[in-house]
């Protein structure tokens, strides 16, 4: 039962271990959250996910990444805290602040026809990045931790974060959507592919951008 799994998780020290690729929980569609937790347990779970995400550090964390097959995720991006990243890179990639929020039973839908392709990584696949083409704009629907409805449009990097974390809840890793010829270590991305767009990587590694 979810409540028992959360109670067990809450006995562990923070930050919690992040499940790595190869664990079936990352490849199984999570079940909807239907209010199985007490308010106290849900609050403690969300606080633990927040701390684990921040300590990693990351900009999102889905419940399957801490071993829970339930449709809950947290996201946050303090976009101004990227020392050394040029302003033109931030603008080109659509990187903008995404205040902390909890997403319960989230889903997204494309808005418009435009895609954007950038290097992307994952806390469950450490050390690697690959180029992923995703819709530039999406409509996010969900509930927050209080059960209030969430319905908003996001674009750029915030839209990418929401898509990435929601995909986790469907058993999808970013590598399933990636151009695998772009697969690079963090070090290679920093050394070779730090340009605002992955156009150089596409040309030199031999893949097409949308």
Whether the CB-CB separation of 71 and 141 falls below 8 Å is answered with no
Q: Could you give phi then psi for residue 120, rounded to 5 degrees?
A: -140, 150
Cα angle 126, 56, 168; round to 5: 60
Interatomic CA distance for residues 138 and 158, integer angstroms: 10
112: left (phi over 0), alpha (psi -120 to 50) or beta: left
Interatomic CA distance for residues 156 and 195, integer angstroms: 17
Annotated binding site for Fe cation: which residue ranges?
A: 122, 164, 168
Annotated binding site: which residue ranges?
A: 122, 164, 168
Q: Is 165 one of the annotated active-site residues of the chain?
A: yes
DSSP state at residue 31: B
Name the one residue in this structure whose structure tokens are 């779970």.
Answer: 45
Name the active-site residue from 34, 81, 152, 165.
Answer: 165
Catalytic positions, written as ranges:
165
């Amino acid at each position: 039962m979810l409540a028992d799994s959360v109670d067990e998780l809450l006995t562990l020290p923070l930050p919690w271990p992040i499940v790595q690729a190869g664990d079936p929980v990352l490849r199984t569609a999570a079940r909807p959250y239907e209010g199985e937790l007490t308010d106290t347990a849900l609050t403690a779970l969300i606080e633990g996910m927040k701390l684990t995400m921040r300590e990693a550090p990351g900009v999102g964390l889905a419940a399957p990444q801490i071993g829970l097959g339930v449709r809950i995720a947290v996201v946050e991006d303090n976009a101004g805290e990227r020392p050394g990243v040029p302003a033109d890179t931030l603008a080109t990639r659509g990187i903008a602040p995404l205040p902390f929020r909890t997403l319960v039973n989230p889903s997204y839908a494309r808005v418009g026809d435009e895609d954007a392709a950038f290097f992307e990584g994952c806390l469950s696949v450490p050390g690697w990045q690959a180029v992923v083409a995703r819709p530039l704009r999406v409509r996010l629907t969900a509930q927050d931790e209080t059960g209030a409805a969430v319905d908003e449009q996001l674009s750029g990097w915030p839209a990418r974060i929401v898509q990435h974390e929601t995909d986790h809840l469907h058993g999808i890793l970013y590598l399933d959507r990636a151009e695998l010829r772009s697969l690079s270590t963090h070090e290679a991305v920093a050394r070779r592919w730090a340009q605002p767009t992955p156009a150089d990587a596409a040309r030199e590694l031999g893949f097409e951008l949308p």
